[in-house]
Amino acid sequence: MILTVAAAVFVFGLLVLVHEFGHFITAKLTGMRVDEFAIGFGPKLVSFKRGETVYSIRAIPLGGFNDIAGMDPAENTAGERGYCEKPVLSRMIVILAGSMMNFVLPVVLFFGIFSTIGIPTHAKDPVLAAITENSPAQSAGLLAGDKILSIDGKKIDTWDDFTGYMKSVEPEQKIVLQYERNGVTEETSLVPEYSEKQQKALIGVQSKIDYVPQSLADSARLAATRTGEILTMMVLMIAEIFKAPAQADLAGPIGIAQMAGQVAESGFVPLLNFAALLSLNLGIVNLLPVPALDGGHFVGLVLEAVRGKPLGTKATMYTQRLGIGLLLALTLFATKNDIVRVFFR
Q: Where does the pLDDT of residue 333 fall: very low under 50, low under 70, confident under 90, or very high at 90 and above? A: low
Over range 198-224, report the average pLDDT: 87
State residue 212 phi and psi, 5-degree precision: -110, 105
What is the pLDDT, as a whole number, of residue 123? 82
DSSP letter for each residue of 86-130:
S-HHHHHHHHHHHHHHHHHHHHHHHHHHHHHT-EEEE-SS-BEEE
Q: Where does the pLDDT of residue 110 fall: very low under 50, low under 70, confident under 90, or very high at 90 and above? A: very high
What is the pLDDT, as a whole number, of residue 82? 94
Q: Where does the pLDDT of residue 171 fall: very low under 50, low under 70, confident under 90, or very high at 90 and above? A: confident
What is the pLDDT, as a whole number, of residue 264? 78
Residues 6+ apart with CB under 8 A from 314: none
List, by residue number, the catalytic residues. Answer: 20
What is the pLDDT, as a whole number, of residue 323? 61
Question: Using CA atoms, how far apart are residues 197 and 202, in angstroms rounded to an integer?
Answer: 11
Helices 294-307 and 88-116: crossing angle in degrees, nearest 10, is 140
State residue 67 phi and psi, 5-degree precision: -90, 90
DSSP, collapsed to helix, strand or coil, labels residue 57 as strand
pLDDT digits (tens, 9 = 90+) for 172-198: 889 899 999 999 999 999 888 877 777
Nearest residue to 11 via CA among 96, 102, 95, 78: 102
- Sign of the CA dihedral running 291, 292, 298, 303: positive
Supply the pTM of this predicted model: 0.75
pLDDT digits (tens, 9 = 90+) for 223-259: 999 999 999 988 887 777 666 655 555 555 666 667 7
Q: Where does the pLDDT of residue 331 fall: very low under 50, low under 70, confident under 90, or very high at 90 and above? A: low
Of the chain, the percentage scoring pLDDT greater than 90 comes to 39
DSSP, collapsed to helix, strand or coil, labels residue 344 as coil
99 neighbors 286 (Cβ within 8 angstroms): yes
Over 80: is that where the pLDDT of 327 sits? no
What is the pLDDT, as a whole number, of residue 218? 94
Instruction: Determine the Cα angle at 215 with ends 114 and 270, to 5°.
Output: 5
Over 90: is that where the pLDDT of 92 sits? yes
What is the pLDDT, as a whole number, of residue 67? 93
Over 80: is that where the pLDDT of 302 sits? yes
Over 90: is that where the pLDDT of 66 sits? yes
CA 298 to chain centre: 23
Over 80: is that where the pLDDT of 167 sits? yes
Question: Using CA atoms, how far apart are residues 101 and 286, in angstroms rounded to an integer?
Answer: 12
Over 60: is that where the pLDDT of 335 sits? no
Over 90: is that where the pLDDT of 322 sits? no
Over 70: is that where the pLDDT of 69 sits? yes
Over 80: is that where the pLDDT of 325 sits? no
What single-letter DSSP state applies at residue 145?
T
Nearest residue to 132 via CA among 184, 81, 209, 207: 207
Over range 318-343, report the average pLDDT: 61
